[in-house]
Amino acid sequence: MHEWLMVARASKFKAWGVTAEQIAAMRTEIGQLRFKNPAGSHGDLGSGTWHNELLDLIDNSSSYNAYVQALRIWANDRLVGGAGALPPGLRP
């Protein structure tokens, strides 16, 4: 499962009031992920770049709402299906 609320940043999400249950719910089956710019899937050559971009979004967001908004913009550029392909709790 791909974590949109990365456990590696659980302390930040906790500080924002996000529960462990929310973190667990905001995941996508790895096989369902398709990326664009460059095209690929989870584990492909560009996967490290996409993960680092997500970490940067988390690290540079001032709140959970700011992260979700930045994630949606990122998804529209990087994720096949855009923000609509995110888990229900993260979609617009």
* Block residue for tokens 């659980």: 10
Q: For residue range 23-73, list pLDDT tens digits in order.
A: 999 999 998 989 898 787 777 777 788 899 999 999 999 999 999 999 999
* Mean pLDDT calculated for residue range 11-20: 96
Domain ranges of the chain: 2-90
CA angle 27, 32, 34 (to 5 degrees): 105
CA distance 67 to 57: 6
CA distance 49 to 91: 22
